[in-house]
Amino acid sequence: MVKRLDESFGRMFDAVESLGLTDDTIVLFSSDHGNHFKTRNAEYKRSCHDASIRVPTALTGPGFEGGGRLKKLVSLVDLPPTLLDAAGIDVPETMEGQSILPLLQNSKAAWPEEVFVQISESHTGRAVRTERWKYSVRCPDLDEAGKPISQPTADSYIDDCLYDLKADPWELTNLVGFTSHAEVVRVMRERLTRRMVAIGELEPTFVDAPPAPPYEHVVKPFEAYA
C-alpha cells in the first residue's frame, strides 16, 4: 500500500508540473482516522489510542517546501485554516482550529498543549492528549442488549483510560483508578472539560473509575509482550 501510494503521488505531482501549476498548487494528503486492527476493541478505529487517532498527513507546495516533520500536537481541525491561510484567504473567527503556518516559520510560536478527541458509534467518548498524558472517558449508558449507546454527547462520563506516553508509548498499561495518578486524572479532567465546553457542549459530570488492583497485578512481565 505504501508503494502504491508513493506511485500515485508521483503521477499526481508529474501532472501538476506538466501543467505548469507547481508554484500555485498546495497538495495535502491526510486521513480521517488511523487503524488499530481490532487490537483495542471489537472493530478497527473507534478508540482513544494513538493507533486510532494518529493519521498520516503531508503538505507540499508554496509555504511547505522546507521538508521535515512538525513535532507539535496538530489536529485535523487545524488543516482547513492552514489551507486558507496558505492561500491568502482570511480564516473566519468562528472556524475551529488554527493555521500551522506560524509553526513552520517559528518553531517557538504559541501553540495549544493538547488535542481534543471525540469518539462515537462504538461508544460515546471524549479524550484529551498532551505530549505526555492521554486521558479518556466514556458514557456508561447501555441499551437493552447491553451495548454502548451511540449518541452525539452525554451528561455523564466515567473514567476510561489514562496513559503515561513518556513511560508507556505503546499504551499497554491503563493507569485509571490508581491512587498514585489521581492528581493527573484531576488535571486532565479539567483540560478535557475546558475543551468540551469550548466547542459548545454542556459541562458533564464525571464518575471515578473503580480502584485499580495493585500495580504488580496489572503490569505484565516483558516476555509476555514478546
Q: What is the CATH number of the domain that holds 188?
A: 3.30.1120.10
Pairing mode, if any, of strands 156-164 and 205-207? parallel
Q: Cell numbers of 120, please?
A: 462515537
Do both 13 and 84 map to the same domain? yes
Instruction: Give Cα separations from 162 to 12, 47, 49, 62, 187 (angstroms).
Output: 42, 13, 10, 40, 12
Do both 55 and 6 map to the same domain? yes
Distance CA 88, CA 83 (A): 9
Do both 81 and 170 map to the same domain? no
Do both 150 and 180 map to the same domain? yes
Do both 30 and 51 map to the same domain? yes
Q: pLDDT at position 86, please? A: 94
Do both 124 and 61 map to the same domain? no
- Grouping H, G, I as helix, E, B as strand and the rest as coil, residue 205 is strand
Do the Cβ atoms of 180 and 153 come closer than 8 Å?
A: no
Mean pLDDT by groups of 10 residues along the chain of 226 residues: 88 93 92 90 90 91 86 93 95 92 86 93 93 96 85 93 96 94 96 95 93 62 45
Do the Cβ atoms of 138 and 204 come closer than 8 Å?
A: no
Do both 94 and 129 map to the same domain? no
Distance CA 131, CA 113 (A): 7
Do both 28 and 68 map to the same domain? yes
Do the Cβ atoms of 24 and 62 come closer than 8 Å?
A: yes
- Grouping H, G, I as helix, E, B as strand and the rest as coil, residue 29 is strand
Do the Cβ atoms of 48 and 128 come closer than 8 Å?
A: no
Q: pLDDT at position 216, please? A: 52
Q: pLDDT at position 147, please? A: 85
Instruction: Give Cα separations from 157 to 137, 206, 209 (angstroms).
Output: 6, 5, 10
Q: pLDDT at position 148, please? A: 86
Do both 141 and 78 map to the same domain? no
Instruction: Give Cα separations from 81 to 55, 87, 91 (angstroms).
Output: 18, 10, 6
Which residue, of 85, 111, 137, is where some domain finishes? 111
Distance CA 197, CA 18 (A): 48
Do both 123 and 106 map to the same domain? no
- Grouping H, G, I as helix, E, B as strand and the rest as coil, residue 189 is helix
Do both 50 and 129 map to the same domain? no
DSSP 210: P
Do both 19 and 107 map to the same domain? yes
Which residue, of 63, 86, 111, is where some domain finishes? 111
The count of structural domains within the chain is: 2
Do the Cβ atoms of 178 and 97 come closer than 8 Å?
A: no
Q: Which domain holds residue 92?
A: 1-72+74-111
Q: pLDDT at position 144, please? A: 82
